[in-house]
Chain A
């Protein structure tokens, strides 16, 4: 049996946000029990093997669960449950429209056990972003090595243009015209002035202008279209069309845009060995949760994998979270439970957001309190998922050569409406090779994603992006034959929306969203931490021996100086 049976927090699921929370709570000196129904840290954030991904595909998008077997150590005499019991179920259909295009000949894929396929791909890590800071503060950094993303390209009119990572890149670039270079240099200078002034600027960047749309600001700078697209979609990593806006909520403010640029510039110069602003974790993104879990374990968190949770226990009177019951029958107590979105807990109430219990009526004051405590996370979540696109289409492809000869880890951005005249959102692609140890030598993985509300449209959009990069079968065209050949691919739609949860003490974690980096996930994770432990610091700063904990302002200033 699991001993002790009472914890400051119980975490269910080993996705990245849950694992970061386990590590941060353990680092705050609290006791943590981390449970997972799956084998080997499988979650929507994992990088499953080829065979695991194949069973995911054949089941129509279910992560294969470990079979639970009550081991000797887990036997115990059951205790009487004095709580209200809410059954825990699997969340319905997190993945849909799963389609595999199998290899004509599986041997063409090489050693299958060498593949790690990111379920949340494509994703990259900003060198100066919050995830790297958390890794260092948590002392999880020695468990993960990174590969630098070697280059980014933007796709327009059937061509790839390199995205400059720094001022020196602008000088060296051979695809940009002299006039474009001058525009970019002037613009980088402007961003540097903005960050140096810490927001206290006048004129163009006066406070009253910062809330206005970023795209208007860029237009006023009279930047050419290509440069504007590079800045918006490849550097500030905006996902929604900013030129033809259907939903005002998807417009990025000047302030957010400038902050994103500052982060990009700081990232580009943070690590001398990194070729650009972005990193990719060796062996895939699935190593990140494991690194945080290891840190949590080192600080005393207890780990039990292959252990399903069967019910959530609530106080009969208040309806507050009191713990969980696991498949072995044991009851584990905690007033704080964090659950992965792969869990679904039946709502104790009949109406959507009003928490009432069948056994006792919750008074109005309590009710109001519960709802208000949920406001911060819900509003930020809505902000991050961006309008109505609560799904993201992903496609993972295996190819036989790099689409950029000589380069392995490469990102491509297809700005809005850039694919064969199609109306489309931003499509992101990331190529990885054996240098990142995610596939056998000589093979490449290319991951695609696009935010979507319609599956068919998303599939067609990603097909157009694939056609741009890969060889069309049996083409006689010489140019076509130089492109990589698509050997195998999987397409699926993943749900991003996060269930509302109104039980006090229960926090739902998040699914990987449609963005290519981890800023929104980190923000959400930190918010949950502070809601659960308002008196504690999220990953306390390390002593001065580490350079990782400079304020964001310092890091940004360093970045600008480095240009």
Chain B
């Protein structure tokens, strides 16, 4: 089979409101962090070119645009994802408990052809808060959950301090790419109605 031209990877980030999904994306793509929390407005997706082994790929990271707050994401959002990132806040037990729901929701909505082997990556964010003293989910507990779900890669991150963010996304890109080659299927020709679109290096102003 000839190599597929498309090297665009769709990555979606799920998790409870306020766990830092947008901050992680922003830190990774724009190297920016803001302490001010606002429910996500203004980010559709961010893109970043990534070198994975010998391939240069474009990673398109999709934010939930606040639609996760009342579980109001539609099937169209999940469709065609190459990797799903599950984020929780190590200081909030509920956000960890909800990982099960988010994973389930993804598998139902995206209905990947091989759900057993679909690449997830789990990020335990906000490890910087209060020097780690307010932490309620231990690394051991998180790793046990990941292992039970078929060995999901796990990273502890701090979007604020830019701790482990690059490493986590490098792993995300690698797994997304692995999924893509495995799922190499016939993609029928489709029409993009915005013929004038120029591929952007990063960001989307909408």
Complex Cα distance, B43 from A267, in Å, reads: 32
Bound together, the chains give a CA A2 to CA B188 distance in angstroms of 42
Among the 9-residue stretches B63-71, B149-157, B171-179, the one with 4 or more Cβ atoms under 8 Å from chain A is: B63-71
Q: Please state if A146 and B191 are interface contacts (CB–CB under 8 Å).
A: yes
| B136 CB, nearest partner CB in chain A, Å | 18
Contact code string A62-81 (vs B, CB < 8 Å = 1, else 0): 00000000010100000000
Closest approach, in angstroms, between the C-beta of A125 and any C-beta of chain B?
9
Chain B residues positioned under 8 Å from A148 (CB to CB): 191
A290 to B42, Cβ gap below 8 A? no
A546 within 8 A of B: yes
Most interface-central of A141, A146, A273, A294 (chain B CB within 10 A): A294
Q: Is the CB of A291 within 8 A of B191?
A: no
Most buried by A among B74, B191, B193, B197: B193
Tell me whether A73 and B44 are in contact (CB under 8 A).
Answer: no
A305: B residues at CB distance < 8 A: 70-72
Task: Name A114's closest neighbour in chain B (CB-CB).
Answer: B111
Q: Which residues of B sit under 8 angstroms from A546, Cβ to Cβ?
A: 194, 196
Residues on the B chain within 8 Å of A241, using CB: none
Q: Specify which chain B residues have a CB less than 8 angstroms from the CB of A272 in the assembled complex.
A: 195
List B residues 162-206 near A (Cβ within 8 Å): 188-198, 206
> Residues 114-157 of chain B: 1 if any A CB is under 8 Å from the residue's CB, otherwise 0?
00000000000000000000000000000000000000000000
Contact partner, B206, options A139, A273, A547, Cβ 8 Å: A139
Q: Is A383 an interface residue (CB 8 A)?
A: no
Q: Is A287 an interface residue (CB 8 A)?
A: yes
Pairwise interchain contact B76-A143, C-beta atoms closer than 8 A: yes
**A282 near B: Cβ within 8 Å?**
yes
Q: Is the CB of A299 within 8 A of B75?
A: no
Is B41 engaged at the interface, CB distance under 8 Å to the other chain?
A: yes
A340-383 at interface with B (beta carbon < 8 Å): none
Cβ of B32 under 8 Å from chain A: no
B33 smallest CB distance to A (angstroms): 21
**Contact B76 A291, beta carbon cutoff 8 Å:** yes
Residues in A with CB closer than 8 Å to B198 are 545
Q: Is the CB of B191 within 8 A of A40?
A: no
In the complex the two chains form, what is the Cα distance from A71 to B41 in whole Å? 24
Q: Collect the chain B residues with CB atoms within 8 Å of residue A547's CB.
A: 195-196
Interface membership of A220, Cβ < 8 A: no
Given A279-B193, A282-B190, check contact A290 B76 (CB 8 Å).
yes
Q: Is the CB of A299 within 8 A of B70?
A: no
Instruction: Tell me the complex Cα distance, A307–B74, Å.
Output: 15
When C-beta atoms are compared, the residue in chain A nearest to B64 turns out to be A297
In the complex the two chains form, is A135's CB within 8 Å of B67's CB?
Answer: no
Residues of A within 8 Å of B31, CB to CB, are none
Q: Which of A2, A290, A297 contacts B75, CB < 8 Å? A: A290
B65 touches A40 (CB 8 A): no
Establish whether residues A274 and B191, one from each chain, have CB atoms under 8 Å apart when the complex forms.
Answer: yes
Q: Does B4 contact A (CB under 8 A)?
A: no
Does A417 lie at the interface of the complex (its beta carbon under 8 Å from any beta carbon of B)? no
Given A139-B44, A298-B206, A305-B72, residue A145 in contact with residue B66 (CB < 8 A): no
Is A298 a contact of B44 with CB atoms below 8 Å?
yes
| Docked CA distance A307–B67 (Å) | 14
Kindly list chain B residues whose C-beta atoms are within 8 Å of the C-beta of A274. 191
A455 to B156: give the CA distance in the assembly, Å. Answer: 63
Q: Are B70 and A304 in contact (CB under 8 A)?
A: yes
Kindly supply a per-residue 1/0 record for chain B positions 35-48, scoring 1 wherever the CB is within 8 Å of any chain A CB and 0 otherwise. 00000011110000
Contact B70 A298 (CB under 8 A): no
The answer on a CB contact under 8 Å between B191 and A147 is: yes
Closest to B75 in A: A40
Closest-by-CB residue of B relative to A132 is: B193
Chain B residue nearest to A14 in the complex (CB): B74
In the complex, A181→B46 CA distance in Å?
A: 51
Asked if A171 is at the interface (CB within 8 A of a chain B CB), the reply is no
| Cα–Cα, bound, A335→B76 (Å) | 31
Q: For B195, what are the chain A residues with a Cβ–Cβ distance below 8 Å?
A: 271-272, 547
> Does A303 contact B196, Cβ atoms closer than 8 Å?
no
Q: Is A427 among interface residues, defined by CB-CB distance under 8 A?
A: no
How far is the CB of A279 from the nearest CB of chain B, in Å? 6
- Chain A residues with CB under 8 Å of B43's CB are 298
Asked if A214 is an interface residue, CB under 8 A from chain B, the answer is: no
Complexed CA–CA distance, A250 and B44 (Å): 44
Interface string of A154-186 (1 = CB under 8 A from B): 000000000000000000000000000000000
A294 and B65 contact, Cβ closer than 8 Å, known pairs A139-B44, A279-B193? yes
Residue from A73, A127, A283, A290 within 8 A of B77 (CB atoms): A290
The reply to whether A299 and B76 form a contact with Cβ atoms under 8 Å apart is: no
A545 interface neighbour in B77, B79, B191, B196, Cβ under 8 Å? B196
Q: In angstroms, how far is the closest chain A Cβ from the Cβ of B165?
A: 23
Contact residues in A for B193 (Cβ distance below 8 Å)? 127, 132, 135-136, 141, 144, 146, 271, 279
* B residues in contact (CB < 8 Å) with A: 41-44, 65-67, 69-72, 74-77, 79, 111, 188-198, 206
30 pairs across A/B with beta carbons < 8 Å? A71-B70, A132-B193, A136-B193, A141-B193, A142-B44, A142-B194, A144-B76, A144-B193, A146-B192, A147-B191, A272-B195, A273-B191, A274-B191, A279-B191, A279-B193, A290-B74, A291-B76, A294-B67, A294-B74, A298-B41, A299-B206, A300-B42, A303-B66, A303-B70, A305-B70, A305-B72, A306-B71, A546-B194, A547-B195, A548-B196
The 9 closest A-B pairs by CB, nearest first: A303-B72, A145-B190, A290-B76, A297-B65, A290-B74, A304-B70, A141-B194, A305-B72, A146-B191
